[in-house]
């Protein structure tokens, strides 16, 4: 076994033995099946990959994988006292939102791409990977941040105009609602 594969297997074994829900579930599964938790984890990973490749509901599964664990880690990061994990997960959500907008406009093509949901899941796992230059950091620093810095003033102007128009619209709706309610009270 190569050193890189052994390193990831050691991390998986460590994760499977950490105190918490995963450890509790794996302990029960080991006791009921007599199979080591590492092999149970490999089986779950293989079934997930197979389901994402050809299964019904692959879109739901891919989106759950891309949402549930990052949401959990984001809550933990907000509750922790350090800023580094906050930045890591905020960066993930920026890239997730960016990818979701792009995905919305390419939705018709999704059905034609073989193994799209598996590819999306692999992409999202890469984006949330616990390493310094994971997908989120790489995409943010090489694509999103340079675009934002180049166009920050234009974006701010568009947001300010939109905010002002929304405020004006809200004021008009509020005034109209006041008039309608006053007329309704007067007539009844």
pLDDT in tens, 110-157: 778 788 888 899 999 999 988 888 999 999 999 999 999 999 999 999
Mean pLDDT of the chain: 87
Residues 54-110 have pLDDT tens digits of 878 888 888 888 999 899 989 988 998 888 888 889 999 999 999 999 988 887 777
Structure tokens at 174: 């509020």
**pLDDT score for 177:** 86
> For residue 1, what pLDDT band results from cuts at 50, 70 and 90?
low
**pLDDT score for 34:** 92
**pLDDT score for 99:** 92
DSSP-assigned letters across all residues of 117-145: HHHHHHHHHHHH-SSTT-HHHHHIIIIIH
CB 135 within 8 A of CB 129: yes
CA 127, CA 125: separation in Å to the nearest integer? 5
**Which residue would you say has higher pLDDT here, 52 or 32?**
32
Structure tokens at 186: 């007067």
């Amino acid at each position: 076994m190569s050193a890189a594969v052994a390193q990831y297997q050691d991390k998986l074994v460590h994760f499977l033995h950490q105190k918490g829900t995963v450890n509790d579930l794996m302990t029960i599964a080991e006791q009921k099946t007599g199979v080591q938790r590492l092999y149970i984890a490999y089986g779950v990973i293989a079934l997930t990959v197979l389901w994402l490749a050809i299964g019904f509901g692959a879109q739901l599964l891919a989106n759950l994988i891309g949402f549930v664990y990052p949401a959990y880690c984001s809550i933990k990061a907000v509750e922790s006292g350090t800023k580094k994990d906050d930045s890591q997960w905020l960066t993930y959500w920026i890239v997730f939102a960016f990818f979701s907008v792009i995905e919305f406009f390419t939705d018709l093509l999704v059905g034609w791409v073989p193994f799209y949901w598996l590819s999306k899941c692999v992409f999202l796992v890469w984006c949330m990977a616990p390493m310094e230059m994971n997908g989120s950091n790489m995409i943010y620093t090489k694509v999103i941040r340079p675009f934002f810095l180049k166009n920050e003033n234009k974006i701010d102007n568009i947001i300010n105009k939109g905010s002002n128009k929304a405020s004006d619209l809200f004021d008009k709706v509020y005034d109209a609602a006041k008039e309608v309610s006053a007329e309704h009270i007067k007539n009844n």
